[in-house]
Structure 1
Amino acid sequence: MSTTSVHAPVPGRAVTLGDVPDPVFAQGMVGYGAAVDPPHDIIDAVAPVSGRVIKLMPHAYIIVTSENVGVLVHLGLDTVALQGAGFSAHVSEGDTVTAGQTMITYDVPSVVAAGLNPIVPVVVMDEREPGNIVVGDDVATGAEIAAGSLLFTADK
């Protein structure tokens, strides 16, 4: 079994996944993890883990670690409807990235102006056991965190 530390891709208030106002994320249908409610500024979303970018969309990305742990970062809820507006990618699909590396510049005010929730769910893809995810103290207390702070650990 391996343990993967997953870091916050954006600054903001740490949120438990169950508090994300979207049933697909809140109920762990995609996988389990945590979320960050970002400040209403233009911010850089960074890689929460080191690995290879296997999927890159304007509003989301998936990185697979060397231990085959896939981590999804989704910038905002229903943001696919923006068709890329408010997002600028700094990497390409297939790139190898290190934790903390800038992935996408995220224009949070434009997402809010479009009437969408800017919260950023971060989940381990296809994780079906919520007990394999251990959230950090900041998530448990709803604390403000910096990008790169520990969000949760995942046991696989």
Structure 2
Amino acid sequence: MTLVTAPLPGHVIGLAAVPDPVFSGAMVGPGTAIDPVREPGEAVSPVDGVVVSLHPHAFVVVDSADHGVLTHLGIDTVQLNGEGFELLVEKGDTVARGQAVVRWNPAAVEAAGKSPVCPVVALDASAGSLADLREDGEVKAGDSLFGWQ
């Protein structure tokens, strides 16, 4: 089983509470979401693997079991055109769980009129393939969010 951990600190709210129908309806895949603490920081990799997609506002890491995990930094943040985000790795890099991937400031995202809520999604997964899914409570980066069978 792949353990998927929190890429940043905050309050876990679950996908259903994400203010975007694509994520809240689990159209991208099952998972959870974090309302991040409002201070500058780094989003870290939720699994050991390879960065297969990398944008200022989102990244996907695929682990050795071929599980892709999407971390999306805020909602509609693609509209910020990368402003306020700093990439710390490159597409194709191998990363370790907990390794910093993107530096950003959730408070600045919110000040720009976007939601800083961060979905963490198991791509190409069925809802039944996730175990111990967290949908509430406080987390620190590296705390368990869910297991993926």
Q: Do the two structures share a fold, i.e. TM-score over 0.5?
A: yes
Give the equivalent residue in structure 1 for 2:97. 99
Unaligned runs of 5+ in 2: none
Residue by residue, what CA displacement relative to the aligned partner does 1:70-119 show, whole Å, maximum 9, x if unpaired? 00000000000000011101100000000000000111121011111001
**The residue matched to 2:30 in structure 1 has which SS?**
strand
TM-superposed CA distance for 1:19, in Å, is 1.5
Unaligned runs of 5+ in 1: none
Q: Which runs of 4+ in 1 moved over 3 A?
A: none
Relative to structure 1, the CA distance from residue 120 to residue 135 in structure 2 (aligned partners, 3 Å threshold; closer, same or farther) is farther
Q: How do residues 120-131 of structure 1 correspond to structure 2 at under 5 angstroms?
A: 120-127=118-125, 129-131=126-128
The one of 125, 128, 140 aligned to 1:146: 140
**The residue matched to 2:146 in structure 1 has which SS?**
strand
Give the equivalent residue in structure 2 for 1:90. 88
Q: How do residues 22-41 of structure 1 correspond to structure 2 at under 5 angstroms?
A: 22-41=20-39
Give the equivalent residue in structure 1 for 2:71. 73
Q: How do residues 22-61 of structure 1 correspond to structure 2 at under 5 angstroms?
A: 22-61=20-59
- Larger strand share, 1 or 2: 1
TM-score (structure 2 length as normaliser): 0.96
TM-superposed CA distance for 1:35, in Å, is 0.9
| Identity fraction in percent | 45
Matched length: 149
The one of 131, 134, 144 aligned to 2:131: 134
